[in-house]
Amino acid sequence: MPRIIVDVMPKPEILDPQGKAIANELPRIGLTGFTGVRQGRRFELTVAGEVTDEVLAQAREAAEKLLSNPVIEDVVSVSELAEEN
Amino acid sequence: MAQHLTAEQTPLVADLDQPAPDARLADVRVGVVTFPGTLDDRDAARAVDIAGGTSVPLWYADEDLQGVDAVILPGGFSYGDYLRAGAIARFAPLMGRIVDAASGDGGMPVLGICNGFQVLTEAHLLPGSMIKNEQLKFICRDQRLRVENAETSWAGRFTAGQEIVVPLKNQDGQYVADQRTLDELEAEHRVAFRYVGGNPNGSRNDIAGITNARGNVVGLMPHPEHAVEPGFGADLSGAGTVGMREGTDGLDVFVSVLERLTR
Amino acid sequence: MSETHFNLDTVEHAASTPDTELPWAELGLSEAEFGRVKDILGRRPTAAELAMYSVMWSEHCSYKSSKVHLSQFGEKVTEEMRKNLMVGIGENAGVTDIGDGWAVTFKIESHNHPSYVEPYQGAATGVGGIVRDIISMGARPVAVMDPLRFGAIDHPDTQRVVHGIVAGVGGYGNSLGLPNIGGEVEFDPCYQGNPLVNALAVGVMRHEDIRLANASGTGNRVVLFGARTGGDGIGGASVLASESFDDSKPSKRPAVQVGDPFAEKVLIECCLELFKSSLVEGIQDLGAAGISCATSELASNGDGGMRVDLTEVLLRDPSLTPGEILMSESQERMMAVVTPEKVADFEAVMAKWDVEHSWIGEVTDTGRLVINYQGEVIVDVDPRTVAHDGPVYERPFARPESQDALQAAHFTGSPEDAARPSGAELGPALLELMGSPNLCSKAWVTSQYDRYVQGNTAMAMPDDAGVLRVDESTNLGVALSTDSNGRYTRLDPYEGARLALAQAYRNVATAGARPVAVSDCLNFGSPEDPDVMWQFAEAVRGLSDGCQEMGVPVTGGNVSLYNQTGGVAINPTPVVAMMGVLDDVTRRTPSGWREDGQAIYLLGETADELDGSEWARVRGHLGGTPPRVDLGRERTLGDMLINMSRDGMIDAAHDVAEGGLGATLAEMALRFGVGARIGLGEVAERDGVDLFTLLFSESQGRAVVAVPRSEEVRFSDMCTVRNYPFARIGVVDAVSGTLDFQGEFAVALDALREAHEATLPRHFG
């Protein structure tokens, strides 16, 4: 079954407490190569048939209307997952 | 209906009808760990003290267990539970000492309550993991449990099959594990406590608490430390009706470990 | 706002460019206010100064429309009321002496508009903000309560708002380890576009630990600690909190603040450690207006001035302009004043708790608040002119012309009263009422809150008040209740405010506690509407008169105006939070009976007072005049309930309020699932009312109590001596599982529970 991937991230100007907590912990476990962490969310929408432009448009609408909260989050990508196998 | 105590009869600290606690219990030192974001640390310490033992505050960043005889990882939201509940706390320096002491020859008793249970699973002292409650909501209520295994370090005062009521309060309380692990837990009688009267959060096999094979490390989702003191406990008891907030079924969890360590 | 306005507009530059255009109107200042700023400074303000004045002179921060009325709370304080008051109105929160060297601070505040825009974060940061107020008094926060008001239960948007707000209150409060011990939940179409999220926090401390927000001692250092400063809620204080939403201007909606409860929990413990070691001279939380507010208030409450270098502020977003840094409402921040010799110890506490801090300035003897940025002076003001000398308005107010018609439209005899139930119809009527959105069980909400944490909760929802132990060795503690009835207040704002006070007083006394202090949260529409301003003026007059009559002072609170959508304001909703003291919290009185055979008594009398009642609401009617309230009688009733509880004469007590005697009896039976046999014939005859009126009228001054058989004589004697009407109306029946109104109708407790508990899950899942 084809899938559409939606990635949602907190808006850059919005505090991301989750990312902050993880970023603070990384150096404590010896991983010092990172200056920041932001934590977003990934959704996988399964499609029955082909991923047409229309289905993608619906996914974009779902992302804007339901999957993200436009007050504090951005939809950063809506894309078809490349076939596995 | 059980006798309802009037205000005059209500003891301030513990039930006066109970025999006085064994004085030797006070020599047992139980460490209570505070991580950043731990919430029920003072409650767990109070429970140890009411049970007759001596609570010792432990700070997550220290390296030293201060010679305690047992350790409680209390409830709360360590590091906000932002990544996964317990995921960051398990890397605390003190956790290394606790894992060593629990796994070593002495087999130090360790109890993880709620967030502490989550820390124990992240630290791989106990199998499985916790995900969000089935209802996707925080749940706070008095919960009936069955003591499935009375042989652990934290349940000697109970008899197997006994029912108790203690408060349940969490957001990520749904216990999950793969089928093989669940089968193993059941076969080895390592389900320590089970929800009865309805599964509150979707936990597999109605599991409320589990133990390691030796029985010294126990993880328990509900909060026995909130049912230790008449007037501030649960509204119910496994033994029958009690007065408002007079349910103290949780106290024996703490007495159990003290008795185990003085034996 | 554009960067060009704010790019290092120094004081020097401002003095030399008097004609530069400034966005004072966009920042919410009136032309006259802007003129005053120029007069005060003797020049045009710099952009940063403009930012400070605009937020600090906003309605939200300056109380410019409400001040002239609020002064009554101070003027009407008597010696009796001052007796236990350690810190009064004007500080972050009031402090009350509860005895044995213990002091309790509590305060209620609104976070209404932000909770409509982003319900979860709005409600969460509302809890966070009020808790920081409590910390900044030097107290350990010990509990929260949340009176919530939503739109119609079946309106599509109510789902979004309810789920978000309840999860936000729980998500933040639960993560802080603060038990949530009570509050209110109301649904009414008038709150559709303006839900009310009021948050109360209570804290305890020893007398000697009280801290105040002032910056004293020249040379002392000023430190900002906690979360970094980002672009959160810039302009929130002035724009978000003082203008009603208007769809034509969406650009005025600023970014919302996001809360980090973990950071706040760490901040609480860190502050308590600072207090324990006496490492701070003065402390102030950062809430509305952020650094603008904290620096100007600390400086003006101190004895000198303050110099601040804004370059030192740790930023989450490095692109912030100095004006934005001053206005940012980033959460989980505190500001403190530390003597130079304690700097190292202070830093050690910060390190232990992993809390970021930066030394941003020092106390001076200049009397000026001087703020530098990148080596240039961008603010040079008298801090008092920012913090305390804001504009004061005597807004016009007048009794609305429609008020007479509203008060004339009584329920009794109205078209909505046409099919008044009687006889066997009363059973279904009681079930309908107990399942209605406002009388149904609120367990769906309260079970999402932790009421156990800290181990000191002696009583919580659904009992009349939340009760907390303060001293573990003596069981000394406090009881708290919040109450308001917007419908009563709409019908008569003066009486409505007094009714809220009476009910809060009664709830605390019913629990067995002696009421000692009030905090209030006054939620109203636009002060620019003379009708609304009249409601406000009347309510404040009613509440301040009432507090004087009851001998209980207002110790602090909050005003929330502009709660309206278009021209339609919410019902005026003055929320009264009452605190009472119990010498032994294990003696508190539960709200339900459980001992078979105990006698059930009704205290007080019933008249036909269905106007504004829950029954009238269920029938879609709002008109007439609210129930009469006699505060002297309420005091007597309260005294009796407290004494009866202390002397062991009653085992259960519940006040009669919304929903009348019918709702009270139903709630008492449901509390522990124990039924009763009730006979109301004699009382109905005594009071000259029919059974329907006796069950559903909302006459004040009433309570129902359960009395052990052995105490009936003492109980009757006390009522007789106090000349308070009382009547034996029934007997507890632990066997039948029924609330049996003998000879009239009976309701099975199972059916009653089903009706009571199904409503919220049915709507919200």
Tens-place pLDDT, residues C651-699: 999 999 999 999 999 999 999 999 999 999 999 999 999 999 999 999 9
Tell me the mean pLDDT in the region B227-242.
Answer: 93
Q: Is C623 annotated as a binding residue?
A: no
Counting Cα atoms < 13 Å in the Cβ hemisphere of A27 gives 9
Local confidence band at C13 (pLDDT 50, 70, 90 cut-offs): very high
Q: For B36, name the nearest residue in chain A, comparing CA atoms only.
A: A21
Decide if A21 touches B, using CB distance below 8 A.
yes
Residue C218 C-alpha, separation from nearest chain A C-alpha, in angstroms: 35
Distances in whole angstroms, Cα of residue C647 to Cα of each of C504, C511, C589, C642:
23, 13, 11, 9
Question: Does residue C480 contact residue C200 with C-beta atoms inside 8 Å?
Answer: yes
Tell me the mean pLDDT in the region B103-115.
Answer: 96
Share of residues in chain C with pLDDT > 90 (%): 85
> Chain C: which residues have CB within 8 Å of chain A?
117-118, 121, 227, 230-232, 255-263, 316-317, 330-331, 354
Q: Kindly state the tokens that stand for C4.
A: 């060009």
What's the pLDDT at B240? 86
d(CA C65, CA A80): 56
Decide if B96 touches A, using CB distance below 8 A.
no
Tens-digit pLDDT profile for residues C711-759: 999 999 999 999 999 999 999 999 999 999 999 999 999 999 999 999 9
Pick from B78, B81, B83, B84 the residue to mutate for testing the A interface (most A CBs within 10 Å). Answer: B83
Mean pLDDT of chain C: 93
Helices of type H across C627-721: 631-646, 660-672, 681-687, 691-696, 712-721
Which listed residue (B4, B8, B63, B114) is catalytic? Answer: B114
Tell me the mean pLDDT in the region C587-600.
Answer: 96
d(CA C96, CA C210): 11
Q: For C646, name the nearest residue in chain B, comparing CA atoms only.
A: B7
Nearest to A71 among C118, C261, C354 (CB): C118
Put simply, the answer to whether C353 touches B223 (Cβ < 8 Å) is no
Q: Is C750 annotated as a binding residue?
A: no
Whether residue B11 is predicted with pLDDT greater than 80 in this model: the reply is no
Put simply, the answer to whether A25 touches B91 (Cβ < 8 Å) is yes
Which listed residue (B223, B226, B246, B259) is catalytic? Answer: B223
Tell me the mean pLDDT in the region B142-169.
Answer: 97
User: CB burial class (10 A; 0-12, 13-18, 19+) of residue C620?
Assistant: exposed
Residue A53 C-alpha, separation from nearest chain B C-alpha, in angstroms: 33
d(CA C460, CA B229): 16
For chain A, helix, strand, coil in percent to 5 are: 35, 25, 40
The SS3 of residue C308 is strand
Q: Which residues contact C510 (CB under 8 A, 6 or more apart)?
A: C464, C465, C589, C591, C641, C653, C654, C655, C703
Question: Does residue C98 contact residue C581 with C-beta atoms inside 8 Å?
Answer: yes
The beta strand positions in C534-603, using DSSP E, are: 554-560, 564-565, 568-569, 573-582, 599-603
Q: Kindly state the tokens that stand for C196.
A: 């009310």
Question: Does residue A68 contact residue A75 with C-beta atoms inside 8 Å?
Answer: yes
d(CA B65, CA B59): 9
Lowest average pLDDT, out of C247-261, C332-346, C499-513, C598-612, goes to C247-261
Lowest average pLDDT, out of A19-33, C442-456, C601-615, goes to A19-33
Q: pTM for the whole thing? A: 0.92
Q: Which helix (H) or strand (E) holds C549?
A: helix C530-550
d(CA C558, CA C418): 42
What's the pLDDT at C320? 85
Strand C376-381 with C357-364, pairing: unpaired
DSSP B198: S
Owner of token pair 């087999």 = B107
Helices of type H across C100-255: 112-117, 119-135, 156-176
Whether residue C637 is predicted with pLDDT greater than 70 in this model: the reply is yes
Domain C590-765: CATH architecture, name and number where available: Alpha-Beta Complex (3.90)
* Fold classification of A3-80 (topology level): Mth169; Chain: A , (3.30.1280)
Q: Kindly state the tokens that stand for C289.
A: 């207006």
Using only C-alpha atoms, what is the Rg of chain A?
16
Strand A41-46 with A3-10, pairing: antiparallel
Owner of token pair 């109590």 = C705
Lowest average pLDDT, out of A34-43, C627-636, C637-646, C719-728, goes to A34-43
Tens-digit pLDDT profile for residues C171-217: 999 999 999 999 999 999 999 999 999 999 999 999 998 887 777 88
Tell me the mean pLDDT in the region C7-13.
Answer: 86
What's the pLDDT at C253? 32
Q: Is C388 annotated as a binding residue?
A: no
Lowest average pLDDT, out of A74-83, B120-129, C169-178, C427-436, goes to A74-83
**Residues of chain A contacting C168 with CB distance shorter than 8 Å:** none
Owner of token pair 């359960």 = C706
How many contiguous H segments (helices) and E segments (strands) does chain A have?
Answer: 2, 3
Counting as contact any 3 or more CB pairs under 8 A, the partners of B are A, C
Domain locations in chain C?
590-765
d(CA C106, CA C100): 18
Tens-digit pLDDT profile for residues C16-54: 999 888 888 888 899 999 999 999 999 999 989 998 999
More confident residue, C211 or B247: B247
**Residues of chain A contacting C121 with CB distance shorter than 8 Å:** 71-72
Question: Catalytic: B223?
Answer: yes
Put simply, the answer to whether C118 touches A13 (Cβ < 8 Å) is no
d(CA C125, CA C199): 10
Lowest average pLDDT, out of B138-142, C304-308, C746-750, goes to C304-308
Whether residue B25 is predicted with pLDDT greater than 70 in this model: the reply is yes
Local confidence band at B79 (pLDDT 50, 70, 90 cut-offs): confident
Tell me the mean pLDDT in the region C49-77.
Answer: 92
Nearest to A29 among B80, B82, B91 (CB): B91
What spatial distance separates the first Cα and last Cα of chain C, rounded to whole Å? 43
Counting as contact any 3 or more CB pairs under 8 A, the partners of C are A, B
Domains of chain B in sequence order: 23-262 (3.40.50.880)
Tell me the mean pLDDT in the region C491-513.
Answer: 98
Local confidence band at A16 (pLDDT 50, 70, 90 cut-offs): confident
Tell me the mean pLDDT in the region B167-179.
Answer: 94
